Amino acid sequence: MPIKRQLMAEQWNEFSRQIIHKDAPEIQKREMRRAFYAGAQSILFRVIESFAPESEPTDEDLKIIEDLHQELQDFAKRVQQGLA
């Protein structure tokens, strides 16, 4: 049986390598991971809600996804600049 790919874990690993200092305490790493996954779950719920199988995605749905993507990119830039 092939191993199922864990996309969120991949994202967390990349994020944590770029953002979390290697000497950060374990509690900080754990709490950041929890917050990361909680945020992902919240966004995923919103996306699933927008793309319910009984309806086609609307322009508004697509705009929400685009806005979320931009917001996440902007936040990542602020983090890298030490502003967030």
Q: How many structural domains does the chain have?
A: 1
Give the position of tokens 């390598």: 17
* Domain range for 52: 27-84
- Confirm whether 21 is domain-assigned: no
- Confirm whether 50 is domain-assigned: yes
pLDDT given at position 12: 93
Longest dimension (CA), the chain: 49
CA distance 81 to 18: 12
pTM of whole model > 0.75? no
- Confirm whether 19 is domain-assigned: no
Flag residues of the chain having pLDDT under 70.
Answer: 52-53
pLDDT given at position 27: 95
- Confirm whether 3 is domain-assigned: no
